[in-house]
Each structure stands twice: as structure tokens, then as C-alpha cells.
Structure 1
Amino acid sequence: MNNICNHVFTVFINLTHLTFYDAAHQNNARLSFDVPFPTFSSSSLLVLKIKVQTFDVCLYILDGRFEQLHTLDIELANILSPSEIENQRKIPNLKYFVLCCMSRTWYYDELILPLIYRMSNLEELGLSFTTTVKETFIDGNNLKQNILNQMSQLKHFTFDIRSVMFIKNQMNLPSKEDIQETFIDLQYTKIISCVDYFREYKRGLCHIYSYPFLMRRFKNVTNNFAGGLYPYVRVVTLYDEHPFEHEFFIRISQSFPCMEKLIINNRYGQNQKESYKLMNDKS
């Protein structure tokens, strides 16, 4: 990959827009680089859309080598433990930033937030990730305190955030209504919340997202799915400790009309098998 990038920016010296991935969900090829990171740069690049392997590559991209960059749409395979790479230098030219991470991370506070804080003039922000939390789910209060109140120039914020919390002996665990109440001040967009507790694995899952939903993947859909229409989604993952009945799959097919791939993680047999038979008998 080092040679490819070096050639691109050496040959196309006036390049302003670069998309460096296949948009199809089937193609998970990502850029990865050897250490030390290559020294390619561009003084003309304005827009970059790219899939990379690690958070470190994202930091390298934003280390000043693309000084005119104002738009970055980046998808990561994972966000691992903090490294020695600088994550403090301000990025004043960046106006539009979308970050999507495919694997669960533990480093929302340690890595994602500090990166966003470097973008002092950011006007549009999109976040999609799953993170493990210790004591409280990520809710509207968290987003207001840690993002909205810190980004004075932000005009548009879309998100798809799942937080996972391990449950021991906690009392008064928040409900869907409790989480939704924390978004009461966010009048500029519709927010949907979903909360599930999985007793077998002793964990809770809170999913909050802005609607309309613009992401191509929708993960961890449970029987508590709120419904709605998601025309941009191509990949859907289902998970629950309770069986998925036939009526649930009807709802899924209606909500995701453009779905191309369905992943089901459930080992419980249906309780209402007769409903499907009766529907077929009537047709």
C-alpha cells in the first residue's frame, strides 16, 4: 500500500478528491501500512473517503500531511489501545468528519473524543461505533456534555452509537424511556433509543441513533426493534436471547427493503411456528 499511495500523490499533484475503497459491503479490503508510516503528502487534497485497518492510520492521515483537507470520511476495522502517535495537534481546516468503526472498542473517552476535540471548526460530524462502558450508557447527556457543548461550530450531527455495559448487581438500570428523555433538548433531529438487557450473558445494550438512518449497516437488532424505514441499509445483524418469531421477520423485511445480507445470532426455536403455516394456508 505504501507504493500505491506514494504513486497516487506523486503522479496526481493537483488531486483534490480521492475515494480509496470499494463502496460495496462485500469488499472489506482496507489500507494498512508498515512502520514507519510512509511520508506521502498532498497540498491540494480537499476530500478523502477511505477504509483503513486501524485508528493509528487515521491519526497519521490527520498529522498535517494533507494541510488543505476539509472533508474526511473514514471507516476503521478497529480502534485498539492508545499508541505513541500524537493526537493533540489542532485540525482547523476540517469541516466535515465521519468516523465508522466495525469492531467494538473500549476507547471512546481515550481516543475518539480527543480526536474530535482537535477539529475546532468542524461543522458536520457523523459517528458510528460500538463501545464498552463501565457505569452508564452513552445517552443524550453524554453527547451534550462531551460533544455538542465542546464543538461551537457544529451544525449537523448524525450518529449510530451502541454502548455495552456488563451487569453485576446494579439496581435501577435505565429503560428505553429513561434514555430517550435525555434527548429532550435536541430538537433539531429525531433520535431513536433502544435498550436491551441480556441476562444470560449479564450485559446491557443501549443503541441510540439519529433518524433518518444513513448508515449501510444496522447491527444488533433485537425483538425490541423500534421499526421505521431504513432504505440505505444493506447489511442487518439480528441478536437476542429470545426467539425471533415470523411476525418479527415480516417487520424486518418491511423496514429494510434494500437489505442484501442478513446475519442471525440466535439459538432459540420459534414459539409460534403455526402462525407461518396458517398464513400460507390462507394465501
Structure 2
Amino acid sequence: MIDVFYSLVGVHQRFDRLALDSLYIHHLDFVMKPLFDRNSPVDNQLLDRIYTKILPRIHHKVNKLTLEPLSIECVLNTVHYPQLHSISFVNFHYETLLRHLQGDTIVRLLTDQITHLDIYICEKTTEMSEKNELSILVFILSMGKHLNDLTYNQWLSESAIRISPLNLLSKSLKSSSLTKLRIEVNAFDECLYLLDGRLECLSTLIIYICEITNSSSNTNNTKTLPKLKCFSLASNWYTYCYDNEIVSLLRRMLNLEELTLFLSVIRTESTYINGKQLNDEVLIHIPRLNKFTFNIHTHVINNNIKIDLPSNDDIRNSFIKIGYQQVDSFADDKLVNNRGNCHVYSLPYQFRNFMFMNSAFQGGGFDKVRCLIMFDRRPFEYELFKIISRDFPFLENLTLRNSEPQQNKQQQSSIFITFVHLVELDLHSIHIDYVVQFLSDRNILLPRLKNLYIDYEPLITVTNHFTNDATRPNCAKIEQLFIKEPFVRPENFQSYFPLL
């Protein structure tokens, strides 16, 4: 951290030797990361001294810079960095970043030195220029003569429109040096375009697709992809296109060595995805695969046929038989309203998200998960939340969707459930039982809760028009309250939510 580095330099000669050692200064991060990873600019006074007193002493040892909008100009224009090969741009708007990229210093760095580039867009406006975003990518790839590793991520507010970073007419979007790309896109077509040969040397593609739908691309979707060695495909939303789009794409990756899948698949008049199906349809076509990490959720809708659904043991055994021993699953063995769900995932669980968990969950180790979304047409009982608080110890974001009332409220334990790290809770469109359970400090403790999404009617009911002492402690911590419908703040509202 740059502030720690600053505090050591100039204190003592021995500290100077330690702080200015190339082992510690090869990467300078000019973005502060306080609790909950909310980035904030480094103090200006601190930066001024670093620019004028410290950078001139160490510039020749710096290999990587992490910059935000307020620090970029001074850091890059103060001194020359002959050993710099990696830059991360964090919390930039599109137009601001494009303006800086076209400056003489960055143009020279991109052309002569930079091999690794990370871009993290943070956009809050509802209107963004697709032309600007496309210009950023085209500019980077055209100027980055030595660029071999590019990350392009977007952090957008709910009101912002996610603009796809690719355009069907963007023939100029190409590179002859890039070997590794991490990127977020809107649709499956963008994935196909990235693999159509415009990135000649690409061997690793890590891609998040907002929604995977049927392709409308005119590109050759049957051509093999022999250069691709590592492929990661993730989407947080349901797709109907697993069998006809995703399977077809994976079969083209003949020399793939590492595969990561994070998918929620809807199938109609069918059964759950299991190990035998996955092997017969995909894995036998990529014989060099030596690492397979996955979380596959299947949601079946069988309105017209009756199929005996496999059990948890059946699902696990189907993977064990094809050589994947470290696998767990939980599945509905009976349909509810002609619908059923199965989650199967490799162990240890490697993802930050877990999507569409239901009441069939029995537990496991999920230390890496930070975001959990729960949905079911059966009640979420108290015991399930006990399991989740235990097995998701670092959970930060929780979303609940369930319109069914709890059946076992009288069996709730006198032992409190605590979600130690939970920052954000989404209770929109949910039965009031769960509002009671999570907002009352007699049921669940939420010591770090800051953001609450909720409907107004259940909120005033559970808080008894903002007078209920049982819900006051959890509500008093709220810093951001998201209520969709307009309302007039009543008399007790401000004292009940003092941090708003």
C-alpha cells in the first residue's frame, strides 16, 4: 500500500533502505482500498511528497503501476519508468480514460514497453458512449505492440447501461501479440467474434457474458481453435443455449488444457447435466484437458414428460466414473410445479459467487464465496440459514427470493445466527417472514450491514412504522436504503435510520 510505503520513507536510514528495496517498490499502487474494497483516492498531501521526493529516487526500479484518475497525470508525467511493463487503471470513466490513453506518455508506453494492462471501468451514468468504449479497445490493441495480457472489466451501477465492448462492424479490433484476455461482454456473439481469428496469438480467454442467448453471428462457428489452451466461461444469468451453443463451442477447443465453467442452464423436457453427458458431449473432444473447474446449475422444466430425476449420489458417481473424484452436488429428486434444480461443482469450491441456491442445500466449504443468491418455491427454514452462516463465513452480499412462508418458525433456536461480514442484503419481493428473520436482532445479527434492498410495505410492517426496538439495531447500521416505490419519510424514519 502506497500510504504504508510513504510512512516508512524518510523516517530512518535503515527504513529507507528497506522501503526503497526493489523487492518492495516493483509495484506501486496509488489506490487506497479501505474496508469492503471501496476504493478512495490517496491523500493529496501524501501524493505530492511521493511525486517530488520519492519517485525520482525509485522510478528506474518500478515494474508495475496501479493508478486512479486523480493520480495518473502526476505519476506518469513526473518521471520516466524504464522498467515499467504493467499498468492497472482503476475507477475510470470511459471518456476520462480515453483522454488519458491518447496522451503522449501512455502512447509511448503502450508502443514501447507495456506487456500487461488492466482496465477497470466504473460508470454511474445512464448513458455511455459505445463509440468511446470501442475506441478504447481498438486504440489499446493497435498501439500495444508488445501487449500480451489484457484485462477489461466494467463496474456499473444498476442504472447504467452495460455497453458491449465489441461492435459487429469493428474490423479494426485485432491484435497480433495478445495471448491472454479477460473481458466482460453482453452476449455470446461477442465471445464468438473474439475467437474468429482477429486475436491471432490468443491462448487464454477468460470471459464473463452477461446473458448467453442464441448466436446471430455470421462467423464460421465450426472452425477449430487449436491455439486456445485455457478457457473460462461464466455467466450469472440463466441460459437456454447450453446444448446448442456452449457445447458446440467447447468441442472446437481441441488442445484445451484448462477449462472453467460457471453456468446456470435451463433445460425443458430433459434431465440434469451429469458427468456422463458432459464427458460424451464435451470432454472426450478435448483430450489434453488436465484441469476442469466448474459450478453447473441445471434448472429443468418438464411440463409434458415424466423423467425420473437422478439423486445426489447418482450425480456425484457420474463424475467419479469419468475421473473427477472431488465433486459435490445437491439436487431435487422430485419436481415442484414441474420444476427441479441441481447444482454440481468441483471441490474445493473456487468461485466468489453462488447463484440460485435452494432449500436442498446440505452444507459444505465455501470460504471463497462473497455473493450468494437464493431462490426457491419451497420455504427457507431457520436451519438452512444456520448452515449458510457457518459454511459461507466470508459472505458479503446476500439476495433472497422466496414467496413461501416459513413452516417451522416455532423451532427457531435461541442461539443467534451471525453473518459477520455481510454488507449488502436484498429482500425485495420476498415473504415477510424473511424480513422479520433478518431485520430482528433476536434472530440474526448483522454487525456490518450497510446496504439494504427492500419493499416499503414489509419494512413499515416489520418495524411497526419505525418504532420496533427489535429491528432497530440492524436498521441503525444502514447507510444506503434501496426502495423501489416512492414514499414520504414518516416522523420516526430518520431516527430509525440515522446514517442515511
After TM superposition, the score normalised by the length of structure 2 is: 0.53
Cα pair 1:56 1:85 within 8 Å, conserved = no
CA distance in 2, matches of 1:85, 1:47: 22
Report what 2:137 is aligned to: 5
Percent identity of paired positions between Structure 1 and Structure 2: 34
What is the match of residue 14 of structure 1? 146
1:81 aligned residue? 214
Structure 2 equivalent of residue 166 of structure 1: 301
Map of 1:261-272 to 2, 5 A cutoff? 261-272=397-408
**Is residue 261 of structure 2 the alignment partner of residue 127 of structure 1?**
yes
Whole-angstrom CA distance in 1 between matches of 2:201 and 2:165: 23
> CA offset at residue 34 of structure 1?
3.4
Q: Is it true that 1:102 corresponds to 2:236 in the alignment? A: yes
CA–CA separation in structure 2 for the residues paired with 1:234 and 1:23:
16
1:182 alignment partner, SS class? helix
CA contact (8 A) 1:243 1:268 kept: yes
Give the deviation of 1:22 after TM superposition: 4.8
Residues 234 and 260 of structure 1 are in contact (CA less than 8 Å); yes or no, is this contact kept in structure 2? Answer: yes
1:199: Cα distance to partner?
4.9
Q: Look at both structures and tell me which one has the larger radius of gyration over its CA atoms.
A: 2
Q: Distance in 2 between matches of 1:113 and 1:82?
A: 13
Post-superposition offset of 1:109? 2.0
Higher relative CO (CA 8 A, sep ≥ 6), structure 1 or 2?
1
Shifted more, 45-54 versus 201-210: the winner is: 201-210
Relative distance call for 1:159 and 1:89 in structure 2 (3 A) is same
Q: Identify the match of residue 37 of structure 1 among 148, 159, 170.
A: 170
Q: Which amino acid aligns with 1:12?
A: G
1:150 and 2:150 matched = no
Corresponding pairs, count = 281
Gaps of 5+ in 2: 1-132, 417-441, 443-500
The question of whether the paired residues in 2 share the 8 Å contact of 1:48 and 1:73 is answered with: yes
| Match status 1:51 vs 2:184 | yes
Match of 1:175 in 2: 311
Deviations 1:49-101 (A, max 9, x none): 11111111111111111111111100001111232332122221111100012
Alpha-carbon separation, structure 2, partners of 1:9 and 1:250 = 49
Task: Go from structure 1 to structure 2 and tell me whether the alpha carbon gap of 1:23 and 1:126 turns closer, same or farther (over 3 Å shift).
Answer: farther
From 313, 327, 332, give the equivalent of 1:196: 332
SS of 1:104 mapped into structure 2: strand
Structure 2 distance, partners of 1:279, 1:256, is 18
Shift of the 277–214 alpha-carbon distance from structure 1 to 2, 3 Å rule, reads: closer
1:1-41 residue CA offsets vs partner (Å, 9 max, x unmatched): 21111111122221011110158999995634333234221
Q: Which of 90-99 and 218-227 deviates more?
A: 218-227
C-alpha distance in structure 2 between counterparts of 1:240 and 1:37, whole Å: 42
Which deviates more, 262-271 or 167-176? 167-176
Give SS of 2:186's match.
Answer: strand
Question: Which structure shows the higher strand fraction?
Answer: 1
Alignment partners' CA distance in 2, 1:91 and 1:252? 41
Q: Structure 1: how far apart are the matches of 2:162 and 2:348?
A: 28
Aligned partners of 1:153 and 1:251: how far apart in 2?
38
CA RMSD of aligned residues (A): 2.4
For residues 169-208 of structure 1, the C-alpha deviation after alignment (integer angstroms, 9 at most, x for no partner) is 5153322222223223144441112212675532111211
Q: Counterpart of 1:21 in structure 2: which amino acid?
A: N
Q: 2:243 and 2:307 mapped to 1: Cα distance?
A: 25
Which SS does the other structure have where 1:21 is aligned? Answer: strand
Q: TM-score, normalised by structure 1?
A: 0.90
The Cα of 1:245 is off from its aligned counterpart by 2.1
Residue 236 and residue 44 in structure 1: after superposition, are their counterparts in 2 closer, same or farther (change >3 A)?
A: same
**Rounded Cα–Cα distance in structure 1 between residues aligned with 2:224 and 2:307:** 42
Displaced runs of 4+ in structure 1, greater than 6 A?
Answer: 23-28
